[in-house]
Amino acid sequence: MRLRAAQPAAPPRAPASASDANDVPHALSTVVRGALAAAVVCFAFFLFLWSKGPETTAEPSKVSASERAMELIRAEQARELAWIEQGKEAVREKLRDPESAQFKSAVFHRGADGAPMSCGLVNSKNGFGGYVGWTRYMSGASSKLTFIESEVEGGFEDTWARFCGGAPRAGERSPP
């Protein structure tokens, strides 16, 4: 038996080509990239469905007609409340002391012409610092389309009836 002298370890054999050395990591990175792309596509698809609301989901029957009707009613009520607040702000712009403005019986009303109006009662301080008493107002949500009864000479009653219909009058009892 012949013993060979210990030879230094041979350097690792160079791969025949660069692609042979990267086959395993390349295959894994391709799988990872593919899975990531699929996840992104699924996420985008679900985002798209979510942004469209319940009407476009795969099971629209889960949202009943009454729930959709309630959503529409809530949306309309929110628009009406916003209109009332815009009307109050427009009234404040016309008052001598806007910070003192007190409102009650504010309602949203569509007039005879279908024009949206904010109608109600306002009380504010005059130039002497005293409150003037409850006065009717109607507002089309801008100061140019806002009218306070005490500032209008004649014709307010007809305009009130046309645009505010059954809204409360200054002398009537109304909820605070």
Classify residue 124: in a domain, yes or no: yes
Q: What is the pLDDT of residues 39-65, one digit of tens each?
A: 555 455 555 655 555 554 445 557 788
Q: pTM of the prediction?
A: 0.58
First to last CA, the chain: 115
Domain extent for 117: 65-164
Supply the DSSP string of the chain, one letter for each residue.
Answer: --PPPP-PPPPPPPPSSHHHHTHHHHHHHHHHHHHHHHHHHHHHHHHHHHHH-GGGSS-GGGS-HHHHHHHHHHHHHHHHHHHHHHHHHHHHHHSSSGGG-EEEEEEEEE-TTS-EEEEEEEE-B-TTS-B---EEEEESSSGGGEEEGGG--S-HHHHHHHHHTTPPPTTS----
Tell whether 4 is covered by a domain: no
Residue 30 within any structural domain of the chain: no
Q: Say how many domains are in the chain.
A: 1
pLDDT higher than 70, residue 170: no
Residue 143 belongs to some domain of the structure: yes
Mean pLDDT within 109-120: 88
Mean pLDDT of 143-164: 88
Give me the pLDDT at residue 176, please: 44
- Average pLDDT of the residues in 127-150: 92
pLDDT digits (tens, 9 = 90+) for 84-107: 999 999 999 999 999 999 999 999
